[in-house]
Structure 1
Amino acid sequence: MAGESRQQSDPVVRPPVWETYGPADLSAVPVFSGGFINFGYWKGVDLEGPLTEADRIRSEQDLYRHVLDAAGPHKGQVMEVGCGLGVGCALALEEYRPARITGVDIHPQQLRRARDVNAPLLEARPDRLRFALGAAESLPFGDGEFDCLYSVEAAQHFPDLFAFAREAARVLRPGGRVAVASFFTVDGTPAQADRLAGLLDSYANGLDIARPVSQLADALTGSGLVDVRTRSIGPQVWPGWDRWLSRLWEPGTWPRNFLAAWEERVLDYYVVTATRP
């Protein structure tokens, strides 16, 4: 029934995800700032001059804005899947003004941090913001409960994109929109998984999963969604991300290889959108 939450047991978290977003607390790593955990959308930042922490935070906020613009409209019930510390939810609430925004994350430690970080907003607007424990492949909400669902740089961790797509289609109302921003392998490039594991520790240790962007597009289409569109935003992500990494990491160290993977056309950053008919 629409509006009825599903009763579920706590979701199972893959070990690399548990460690990275729990005890290791990726949000505290210096390359991430302001509570965000994303590579950033750098179009509005001058990459020729010295970069500041304010530039970094702006890039992270602008990635959210770019995704939210693609996901619109936002006047009703909105969900973020993989919300982390919830600062993107707060940005969406304050700048896009949906009726309510729900942040979902699979990691209980992240949700505790999200509630702490957003405590004043939760106290002031309990009817407008909430956080819930749940997996992307089994969302704890009723059918047709949301007008908009978006996800920013979390889908590279989802173990089953087809299950995620089915859940997105299920919880959206007719006319509802989904927008996913993340990095995927480039269609048509051979042996991407092996190459990425050799370049990037996050693929070698299983934190990130190598899959072509067409797999997500096919999953959304197969779940009955329409107007499925895939767009690369790599030029607005990778050079700025590498420029920021250069403050802390030397050339040849594995984090700097994200740019190399993009330049080799093995990996790219995409925004994928779709609509429930």
Structure 2
Amino acid sequence: MDHNHIPPTVRRTYGTDDLSQTPGFAGGFINFGDWQGIDLTAPTTEDRVRSQEQLYRRVLRAFPEPRESLRLAEVGCGRGLGAALALREFRFAAVTGVDIHPDQIERARAVNARALASYPDRLGYTIGAADELPFADRSLDGVYSVEAAQHFRELAGFAAEAARVLRPGGRLVVTTFFTAPGPEAAERLKILLASFADGLDVAHPLDGFVASLTAAGFATVATESIGSHVWPGLDRYLADAVPPGHWTHHFLTAWRDGLLDYQVVTADRA
């Protein structure tokens, strides 16, 4: 795998810039959060961390019980806090965090050093790409990804790789924001949101990903919109964390205008 092919914006954002250190991503989980049940009157840093943990829990609850025998991989694990949470709270047999960015894997191993020492055979972090996963065929019971797929250059390769590494009956769970279909929506997002304009985020329509999953051999593909639990809460928190005119406030506008939505996608390997 040639890691020089990491897009420059991704390399900078998760490398030297270390997105986890920005006010909007307090706690280091690096996702927009599931704000359901959180008081938005005056959200605190602790509330922000809770929202990010809740998003992981929403994804991880999609894996069937009993979970103690399931071996999972997280694609786009970042600093690895979510993989550690998965092992600690859901008690999976093993969880391996995968990220294309070497700096993130280095951070994940440092941040979660105690958990790695406590569970040396059950928790791990390794370099890998969404379309080139470092696992043998049919070796995993589950694959999940939390707010990373919007950075993948294309999703068909990710769908095919997830299908390859999952055993029959294994489950894929992906949550992130998907865009409305068509070039007009993609162009409007580039105007509204700097992350689309500079190529950090890629306009992936939901129906295209569902089609890729079906073509790769997944059955019973299900989608759930959770935008109402993400965007209003995030925007309320950003009101106190970033300047009023900051471009990140436009995510709420884009959602309200139907240009994108936050989804949980679940698919079972046939």
Provide the rounded CA distance (Å) in 1 between the counterparts of 2:183 and 2:153. Answer: 21
Shift of 1:10: 4.5
Task: Tell me the residue number matched to 1:5.
Answer: none
Aligned counterparts, 1:198-209, within 5 A: 198-209=191-202
Which aligned pairs between 1:114-263 and structure 2 lie closer than 5 A?
114-187=108-181, 191-263=184-256
Answer yes or no: is the 8 Å Cα contact 1:71–1:150 preserved in 2.
Answer: no
Q: Any idea what the Cα deviations from partners look like across 1:88-140, whole Å, max 9, x if unmatched?
A: 00110011111110000000000000000001111121011011100001111
Q: Contact between 1:10 and 1:134, CA under 8 Å: does it hold in 2?
A: no
Residue range with higher mean Cα deviation, 246-255 or 262-271: 246-255
Change (3 A) 1:202 1:145: same
Amino acid of the structure 2 residue aligned with 1:175: G
State, as a whole percentage, how many aligned pairs show the same letter. Answer: 53
- Residue correspondences, number: 268
Aligned partners of 1:11 and 1:135 also within 8 Å: no
Aligned counterpart, 2:5: 12
* TM-score where L is the length of structure 1: 0.94
Cα distance in 2 for partners of 1:58, 1:46 equals: 11
Tell me the amino acid that sits aligned with residue 56 of structure 2. Y
Name the SS for the 2:241 alignment partner: coil
Distance apart, 1:160 and its partner CA:
1.6
Structure 2: how far apart are the matches of 1:99 and 1:88? 15
Q: Name the CA shift for 1:16/1:72 in 2 (closer, same or farther; >3 Å).
A: farther
> What does 1:47-126 align with in structure 2 at a 5 Å threshold?
47=40, 49-73=41-65, 74=67, 75-126=69-120
Q: What is the deviation of 1:35?
A: 1.5
Runs of 4+ displaced beyond 6 Å = none
Q: CA deviation at 1:44?
A: 1.7
Gapped regions of structure 1 (runs ≥ 5): 1-7
Q: 2:38 aligns with which of 30, 45, 49?
A: 45
- Once residues 50 and 218 of structure 1 are traced to their aligned partners in structure 2, the CA distance between those partners, rounded to angstroms, is 41
Which runs of 5 or more residues in structure 2 are unaligned? none
Larger displacement relative to structure 2 (68-77 or 30-39): 68-77
1:174/1:276 contact within 8 Å kept: yes
Q: TM-score, normalised by structure 2?
A: 0.96
- State how far apart, in whole Å, the 2-side matches of 1:272 and 1:30 are: 28
Letter in 1 for 2:116: L
RMSD between superposed Cα atoms in Å: 1.3
| Amino acid corresponding to residue 201 of structure 2 in structure 1 | D
CA distance in 2: counterparts of 1:151 and 1:214, whole angstroms: 18
Q: Which SS does the other structure have where 2:188 is aligned?
A: helix
- Is the contact made by 2:23 and 2:242 (CA closer than 8 Å) also made in structure 1? no
CA distance in 2, matches of 1:178, 1:128: 19
Aligned equivalents of 1:215 and 1:11: distance in 2?
Answer: 27
Give CA-to-partner distance per residue, 1:124-177, whole Å, 9 cap, x none: 210110111000011111100100100000000011200000000000011100
Question: Relative to total residues, which structure has the larger helix share, 1 or 2?
Answer: 2
Return the match for 1:35 from 19, 23, 28: 28
SS in 2 for 1:31: helix
Is the 1:250–1:256 contact (alpha carbons within 8 Å) kept by the matching residues of 2? no
